[in-house]
Structure 1
Amino acid sequence: MAKEHPEVTHWFDCWHVAKGIYKKLEAAGKRRSCKNLSDWARSISNHLYWCAASSEGDGDLVHDKWISILNHVTNIQEGHEGKYQSCQHGQLANRKWIKRDSKAFLELEKVVKGRLLVKDVKNKSPAEQTSGLEAFHRVVCHFAPKLVHFFHAQMEARLYLAALHFNKNGARPQAVSQDGTPMFAISYPKSRKGEGVAKEVKVKQTYGKQFSKMSSKLC
């Protein structure tokens, strides 16, 4: 790709990297002298998403924002290096800050400034992630279950239906209550080991007349 299509920008998916960071910090946090890292592990892995999403593809800015987490965890919110001079959040409540030069901080620094991570963090995708493709694959499995055999014509028709349904409902807006308040729900994914996660409640899926007519013709 680099030789034949140099005009194509190669982005890395954030999820895989953030997952690795979280696991490393969780493992380090099990040590007696590094318990604070467990409290920060989820926030630091989420910080990687924010670095990529808020930098509009500027690799150097992503890098500087990522490195700034070493100051943030010690309650230093200004005077960061490079393009990112100060944190953008408001006033913070008191937290379990990590003392600089402590064992926990040194372990965190090893992870944050890992040679490969510092090199690759500049190429983190600012918007598109593989989660969107995985969501489409789940829709495909709904219309064409893997346990059922379909001949080519039927399989092609079901893939068309899956694409139509996903394109119509894949980017649904967030639902709101009667007073206009955005709605959220708590989910407990297995990957979070019982930890609750707030997710947006989307408006109901639609099955328009055009979709129904198309499905009747294809099937």
Structure 2
Amino acid sequence: MKNEHPDVKHLFDCCCQEKLVAASKTRGCEAISPWIKSLLNHLHWCAKSSGEDARLIVPKWVSVSNHVADIRDHESELFQVCLHERNLDRAWLDSGTDPHRKLCSIVKAPSLLKDLAQQSPKEQTYSCETFHSLLNHYAQK
């Protein structure tokens, strides 16, 4: 496909939910569980806010490894600091602990980082998924 149609840009819908859920079920790493929804939202935000600039999406995504430990400054020159207000009511992960290391290994997995460069910036389904989740939450049982 790549050789026959070089003019077609192939885009992915990357997701790491299964790996995060599995990690959160590991003994000692249960603290990952409350972060899963935020991590997935962050992944979709990275794609949408980076637009066509594939160089931005990876630094934005990798910044979440600092964010979960309440570290707002990042190593990347392209994305140096969190853009949101500080939230004191979160259950932050302590840097260097088993849950933090496990989460970082998923976030910084080479295969995921490689795929992120081709993450679709427009055709994301998370807004539709969020809407359906909201409907399900308030639907009569």
Same fold, judged at TM 0.5 (above): yes
CA displacement at 1:22 relative to structure 2: 1.7
Q: Specify the alignment match of 1:102 in structure 2.
A: 97
List alignment gaps of at least 5 residues for structure 1: 132-184, 189-195, 198-219
Mapping for residues 147-166 of structure 1, pairs under 5 Å: none
Q: Specify the alignment match of 2:58 in structure 1.
A: 63
CA displacement at 1:77 relative to structure 2: 1.1
Distance 1:32 1:116 in 2: 25
Distance 1:35 1:4 in 2: 47
Q: Specify the alignment match of 1:186 in structure 2.
A: 134
Matched residue SS, 1:6: coil
List alignment gaps of at least 5 residues for structure 2: 126-132
Distance 1:31 1:83 in 2: 34
Match of 1:53 among 48, 56, 59: 48
Give the RMSD, CA atoms, in angstroms. 1.9
Distance 2:12 2:35 in 1: 24
Mapping for residues 110-121 of structure 1, pairs under 5 Å: 110-121=105-116
Runs of 4+ in structure 1 over 3 Å off:
none
Distance 2:34 2:10 in 1: 33
Q: Deviations along 1:47-99, whole A, 9 cap, x unmatched?
A: 11000000012111000101000000010112341311111112323211011
Matched, 1:32 2:32: no
Contact 1:36–1:98 (CA under 8 A) maintained in structure 2: yes
Matched residue SS, 1:187: helix
Q: Deviations along 1:95-116, whole A, 9 cap, x unmatched?
A: 1101111000111111111121
Q: Specify the alignment match of 2:130 in structure 1.
A: none
Q: Deviations along 1:167-191, whole A, 9 cap, x unmatched?
A: xxxxxxxxxxxxxxxxxx9322xxx
Q: Specify the alignment match of 1:141 in structure 2.
A: none
CA displacement at 1:117 relative to structure 2: 0.5
What's the % identity of the aligned pairs? 38
Q: Specify the alignment match of 2:11 in structure 1.
A: 11
Q: Which amino acid aligns with 1:97?
A: W
Mapping for residues 185-204 of structure 1, pairs under 5 Å: 186-188=134-136, 196=137
Q: Specify the alignment match of 1:87 in structure 2.
A: 82
Greater RCO, 1 or 2 (C-alpha within 8 Å, sep 6+):
2
CA displacement at 1:27 relative to structure 2: 1.6
Q: Which amino acid aligns with 2:34?
A: D
